[in-house]
Amino acid sequence: MAVPFISEVKRTHTCGQLTAANVGEEVVLFGWVHNRRDLGGAVFIDLRDRDGLTQVVFEPNHAEAHETAGHLRLEYCIGIKGKVVSRGRNANPNLKTGEIEIKATDLTIFNRSEPTPFLVEDKVSTSEEKRLAYRYLDLRRGPLQHTLMTRSKMNALTRSYMVGNGFMELETPFMGKYTPGGARNFLVPSRINPGKFYALAESPQLYKQLFMVAGFDRYFQIVKCFRDEDLRVDRQPEFTQIDVEMSFVTQDDIFTMIEGLLKKLWGEVLGIDIPTPFMRMDFYESMAKYGNDKPDLRFGLEHVVLTDLIREHGEAGGVPMMWEAVQQKGIVKAMVVPAEKPLSRAESDKLEDFVKQAGAKGLARAKVNEAGEWTQSPLKTISPALRQAINAACNAKAGDLILFQFGRESLVHTVMANLRVHVAKKLGLIPEYGSGGQWKFLWVVNPPLFEYDEETNTWAAAHHAFTRPHDEDVQYLLTDPGRVKCHRYDVVLNGFEIGGGSIRLHDPKVQAEVFKALGIQDEEARAKFGFLLDALKYGAPPHGGLALGMDRLAMLLTGAESLRDVIPFPKSKTGTDLMTGAPGDVDEKQLREIHVRSVTPPQK
């Protein structure tokens, strides 16, 4: 007689729970057939749910269940009832539940499964394309289940920490007004207002400042943000931030609060106590030593800026290409691959391909010998004086390999930053993926308020137009904008920018000067940010905040190789959802309704 599973026979345990302590108990488990070993007499099934695996054995003395078990296939969804027995000598030490098995008396098949497009195993055995197309099967895999459980836990921990510190979780609109500058927005046409568009929020930035004006004092939100930019391994068009804003605080107050949150996350998720306060590094120091504002401090290989040295030696230095680069406002940087961790000649040659891929013209290098002379180097005409000076600046000794880049400042930084990480992986200083057990947190602080845009010959806001400049630099806003530093900060971990924010500009007078420096006219400012400028006039409190990239945090906490592995339903490199086919075509009628006409003929 069939047992009425689910309606009357309820699940008693999950597949990761049972141990030797449960021997003798009658249990009911539900799950999926992870593996089967049919020996004719005994049929073994590994039953899987999100909690783990349990071995179930069907024997001929329970004829009905045994007969059905013979027809089980991978990924069938089933329920079983039976008795927990010890496996004694046959225990499987690789399994959490390996000491026991269930001798099944009853079995029901809730649903059969067609052969799956790929096997559901912990180890990835198929292309990412297939995984994304059948994401619901991919998500059955152990590592992804674990990752999403960790994310869930991170959400819960964040909420309890923030609420415990007096923060309110408040919501902001996704559909807002388009504001120029920054990331490209996704646009949503308005049906009711012909020809008008909403923009999907690239962050709740302006709204959270209005919360401060409104007097909510401490705000946070775990919120989706949307940016229509090209994707990367750590970038998706929709992603999640832990968004935070506080009133009446200094930069240090915010750092302390965020360090506390990260300490809690690392403590509760990984059981690791990360030391606080985090190290702080000046923006310019980071650019000089590491080539970007998100340095990976798990290893050395610091850059050495040689620009001044080349300038001092001038033409007499005997390195005409570097000398020319310096004269054209370029920079010269070097990096030392130490003799203790040598690269083979072939590996060094490959570095050249690597930097070219990153946009460099080439890679000058020099192997230092006992006499301090250089071999393997294209810089054959260098003067002995400059050579010695460079050796000294780089602290280079016999056997070291010096790598050089010179030219346009931003390109040299980018290439050298990439090269530094690339060489570190080649030398085994850090693993290809994951933390390697090292967690190097730091704050990168005091960046410039403006960046010079060489294309338009204008100053642009490096962060956003409402970042507060250092008080002592306000006097230079109009006379020497490049000199103005600001209260902006990024929190960096192992080479990833995991968050960033600023103290906001709440003084309308200084605000007006910033707009002036940016060449933004009053009317223009009103049209773009009028509501915020108005708000600042009505007793806006001093305030500041920060946003943490939840997806990147999850990626780092789980050791995932890609952001796609910590997002349940991510987009592919070209922004398409390989499962649903989004973005897709829509009817002509739908377009008419929203007053939009496509200039691209329908595909196919």
233 binds RNA (CB under 7 A): yes
- The Cα–Cα gap between 245 and 599 comes to 42
Q: Which one among 118, 174, 197, 216 touches RNA, defined by CB under 7 A?
A: 118
The DSSP 8-state label assigned to residue 481 in this structure reads G
135 binds RNA (CB under 7 A): no
- The Cα–Cα gap between 213 and 527 comes to 20
573 binds RNA (CB under 7 A): yes
Contacts with RNA, 254-293, as mask; x by CB under 7 A: ----------------------------------------
Chain positions 577 to 596 lying near RNA, rule: CB under 7 A, are: 578
Smallest gap, in angstroms, from Cβ of residue 472 to RNA? 22
Cβ-based nearer residue to RNA, 103 or 153: 103
Pairing mode of beta strands 441-445, 279-282? parallel
Taking 3-state DSSP, the helix, strand and coil percentages for the chain, each rounded to the nearest 5, stand at 35, 25, 40
- The Cα–Cα gap between 472 and 453 comes to 24
Pairing mode of beta strands 197-200, 187-189? antiparallel
Are 485 and 444 in contact by the 8 Å Cβ rule? The answer is no
Strands (E), 133-248: 168-169, 175-176, 187-189, 197-200, 218-226, 238-247
505 binds RNA (CB under 7 A): no
Smallest gap, in angstroms, from Cβ of residue 207 to RNA? 11
451 binds RNA (CB under 7 A): yes
- The Cα–Cα gap between 3 and 68 comes to 14
- The Cα–Cα gap between 105 and 88 comes to 20
Chain positions 45 to 64 lying near RNA, rule: CB under 7 A, are: 46, 55, 57, 59-61
- The Cα–Cα gap between 51 and 12 comes to 13
464 binds RNA (CB under 7 A): yes
Smallest gap, in angstroms, from Cβ of residue 163 to RNA? 26
Q: Which one among 572, 579, 591, 594 touches RNA, defined by CB under 7 A?
A: 572
- A 10 A CB-CB count for 507 gives 15
Q: Which one among 2, 8, 24, 40 touches RNA, defined by CB under 7 A?
A: 40
- The Cα–Cα gap between 85 and 66 comes to 17
Size of the site for RNA (CB under 7 A): 70
Q: Which one among 164, 173, 181, 194 touches RNA, defined by CB under 7 A?
A: 181
- A 10 A CB-CB count for 452 gives 13
Structural tokens at position 244: 């935070």
Q: Which among 575, 581, 601, 588 has a CA at the least distance from the CA of 238?
A: 575
Residue span binding RNA (CB under 7 A) among the ranges 13-21, 22-30, 318-326, 461-469 = 461-469
146 binds RNA (CB under 7 A): no
Q: Which amino acid is at 457?
A: N
Q: Which one among 1, 39, 346, 371 touches RNA, defined by CB under 7 A?
A: 39
Smallest gap, in angstroms, from Cβ of residue 36 to RNA? 7
Smallest gap, in angstroms, from Cβ of residue 57 to RNA? 5
Structural tokens at position 324: 């020319």
Strands (E), 294-340: 303-305, 331-337
Smallest gap, in angstroms, from Cβ of residue 397 to RNA? 30
The DSSP 8-state label assigned to residue 604 in this structure reads -
Name residue, tokens 């990439």.
418
435 binds RNA (CB under 7 A): no
Angle of the 251-270 helix axis to the 550-558 helix axis, nearest 10 = 40
205 binds RNA (CB under 7 A): yes
Q: Which one among 6, 20, 37, 580 touches RNA, defined by CB under 7 A?
A: 37
Q: Which one among 13, 298, 387, 463 touches RNA, defined by CB under 7 A?
A: 463
Cβ-based nearer residue to RNA, 59 or 217: 59
- The Cα–Cα gap between 339 and 337 comes to 7
Smallest gap, in angstroms, from Cβ of residue 316 to RNA? 33
- Alpha-carbon distance values, 410 to 360, 376, 404, 457, 549 (Å): 11, 27, 15, 16, 25
- The Cα–Cα gap between 403 and 419 comes to 9
| First and final C-alpha spacing in the chain | 56
Smallest gap, in angstroms, from Cβ of residue 464 to RNA? 3
Cβ-based nearer residue to RNA, 129 or 340: 129
128 binds RNA (CB under 7 A): yes
Pairing mode of beta strands 77-86, 496-503? unpaired
Residue span binding RNA (CB under 7 A) among the ranges 150-158, 229-237, 425-433, 506-514 = 229-237
Contacts with RNA, 148-167, as mask; x by CB under 7 A: --------------------
559 binds RNA (CB under 7 A): no
Are 422 and 405 in contact by the 8 Å Cβ rule? The answer is no
Query: What is the maximal distance between C-alpha atoms in the chain?
Result: 99
Q: Which one among 10, 67, 73, 534 touches RNA, defined by CB under 7 A?
A: 73
Cis peptide before 277 (omega within 30 of 0): yes
Q: Which one among 19, 127, 327, 376 touches RNA, defined by CB under 7 A?
A: 127
414 binds RNA (CB under 7 A): yes
Chain positions 320 to 379 lying near RNA, rule: CB under 7 A, are: 357-359
- The Cα–Cα gap between 185 and 199 comes to 6
Q: Which among 495, 521, 525, 362 has a CA at the least distance from the CA of 433?
A: 495
Smallest gap, in angstroms, from Cβ of residue 105 to RNA? 13
Q: Which one among 7, 94, 328, 456 touches RNA, defined by CB under 7 A?
A: 94
184 binds RNA (CB under 7 A): yes
Smallest gap, in angstroms, from Cβ of residue 290 to RNA? 14
Q: Which among 80, 77, 64 has a CA at the least distance from the CA of 26?
A: 80
Smallest gap, in angstroms, from Cβ of residue 448 to RNA? 11
Smallest gap, in angstroms, from Cβ of residue 2 to RNA? 22
Q: Which one among 462, 474, 510, 591 touches RNA, defined by CB under 7 A?
A: 462
Cβ-based nearer residue to RNA, 7 or 61: 61
Query: Residues in the site for RNA, rule: CB under 7 A?
Result: 35, 37-42, 44, 46, 55, 57, 59-61, 73-74, 87, 90-92, 94-95, 98, 101, 103, 115-119, 125-130, 132, 181-184, 202-203, 205, 227, 229-230, 232-233, 235, 357-359, 410, 414, 418, 451, 460-465, 562, 564, 572-574, 576, 578
